[in-house]
Amino acid sequence: MSEGRADAVTLVTGAAGFIGSAVTDQLLAEGRRVVGMDNFCDFYNRTAKERNLANARGLPGFDLIEADIRNREAVLDAFRKYQPETVIHLAAMAGVRPSIEDPALYTAVNLDGTVNLLDAAVENGSRRFLFASSSSVYGNNEKVPFAEDDPVDHPISPYAATKKAGELICHAYHHIHSLPIFCLRFFTVFGPRQRPDLAISKFLHLVSRGETIPMFGDGSSSRDYTFIEDIVDGVLRAMQSCGDPALPGYRVYNLGGSEPVSLKQMIDTIGQVVGREPSIDRRPMQPGDVDRTWADLSRSRNELGYEPHTSLHEGIKRQWAWIRETGQIDT
Ligand SMILES: NC(=O)c1ccc[n+]([C@@H]2O[C@H](COP(=O)([O-])OP(=O)(O)OC[C@H]3O[C@@H](n4cnc5c(N)ncnc54)[C@H](O)[C@@H]3O)[C@@H](O)[C@H]2O)c1
């Protein structure tokens, strides 16, 4: 990373969330100043988000702005006050299925909110901008593994469409304002603090209580699961490289685990980790859900030095241990 001020601020949007809080903790551990922005939206409960932030809130290098990224004035005020050198934009309405119920909310937060941040970054001379995109932009592409230059013109959910649109608006801002921007396509992230709506978290709770798991489809759909520590490492590497004159000023990177696992295998792994045979209720595939994801990591390996290390089994063990340590479950 081209060296900026020693006290340079990194703004992390969505800092109270699953990925945002983990990124924040790592930046703080490295001695950086972090300003978090989050509106504690009710997609899941505030208690979980406060727990995510507990470590950061106790550290002097951290400030939190409770604000909605749709509120343009609040975003501009925050940038004027803190002048962030780096923006790591993770705040979003996430989740495929709820985006089908309320697409207007998804476009307002994921697109209008992103434009507010881009405008504020340009106005205040930020030096780099990272945008959280998603493997969902690949839709039901047949060619695997998915590579960054593959066509991504056929999203199959409003959520995926907002992420692709976010990448496009980032490209336009880079072109017009020369702001270095990297778009990071995360592939199904799991581990401690995982969002409660995501399958691994839901299934760990259901299996531990001896309740039935809803399995959508025949169990053969597959995902390239990525452990949270690997994602954090990828985000920090991207931060180091964004703005490096040896790399393009606008670039898309896959951050995946590169080992796709079927839904049935994932459920079996949960059973092994919890020590209880899962009982499964088979249901039809859900609209918006893609058949498979699988990241081609050639570009992120070559250009960022990214390399995922944690297997699904090891990662689920660590997520399960965290659920028990935080008292979310009686065992
Ligand atoms: N978790 C995954 O598997 C995954 C995969 C691909 C992409 N992503 C992307 O990564 C990012 C982080 O995802 P996550 O899983 O940590 O989700 P999360 O819901 O845990 O975190 C998102 C945070 O953004 C905040 N937020 C939502 N709307 C906001 C608004 N209008 N103003 C300010 N803050 C707002 C929420 O309160 C939350 O704390 C998102 O952009 C998501 O689309 C996640």
Answer yes or no: do 146 and 214 share one domain: no
45 assigned to some structural domain: yes
**Considering only CA atoms, which residue is closest to atom 44 of ligand 1?**
186
Active site residue 159: yes
299 assigned to some structural domain: no
Answer yes or no: do 143 and 118 share one domain: yes
26 assigned to some structural domain: yes
| Ligand 1 site, residue 14, Cβ cutoff 6 A | yes
Tallying the residues shown for the chain, one arrives at: 331
Distance CA 261, CA 278 (A): 17
94 assigned to some structural domain: yes
Q: What is the DSSP string of 35-47?
A: EEEE---TTS-HH
- Total of domains in the chain: 2
**Considering only CA atoms, which residue is closest to atom 7 of ligand 1?**
134
Confidence of residue 273 (pLDDT cuts 50, 70, 90): very high
pLDDT value of residue 65: 98
Average pLDDT over residues 188-203: 97
Answer yes or no: do 267 and 170 share one domain: no
Answer yes or no: do 176 and 277 share one domain: no
Question: 82, 106, 138, 159: which one is catalytic?
Answer: 159
Can you tell me which atom of ligand 1 is nearest the CA of 68? 32
Answer yes or no: do 115 and 70 share one domain: yes
Answer yes or no: do 244 and 264 share one domain: no
Answer yes or no: do 138 and 203 share one domain: no
Answer yes or no: do 159 and 215 share one domain: no
19 assigned to some structural domain: yes
**Considering only CA atoms, which residue is closest to atom 11 of ligand 1?**
90
101-139: pLDDT as tens digits: 999 999 999 999 999 999 999 999 999 999 999 999 999
Answer yes or no: do 33 and 134 share one domain: yes
Distance 276 CA to ligand 1 centre (A): 31
Confidence of residue 5 (pLDDT cuts 50, 70, 90): confident
Confidence of residue 143 (pLDDT cuts 50, 70, 90): very high
The tokens for 325 are 């340590």
Answer yes or no: do 147 and 170 share one domain: yes
What CATH code is carried by the domain that includes residue 209?
3.90.25.10
| Ligand 1 site, residue 65, Cβ cutoff 6 A | no
Instruction: Give the residue numbers spanning the domain of 17.
Output: 9-190+225-255
| Secondary structure of residue 11 in the 3-state scheme | strand
pLDDT value of residue 1: 63
278-290: pLDDT as tens digits: 999 999 999 889 9
Residue 213 confidence (pLDDT) above 80: yes
Answer yes or no: do 216 and 266 share one domain: yes
Contacts of 9 by beta carbon, 8 Å cutoff, 6+ apart: 33, 34, 35, 82, 83, 84, 85, 86
Going across the sheet that includes 33-38, the strands are: 62-66, 33-38, 9-13, 86-89, 128-134, 181-186, 250-255
Sign of CA dihedral 328, 196, 167, 113: negative
Confidence of residue 328 (pLDDT cuts 50, 70, 90): confident
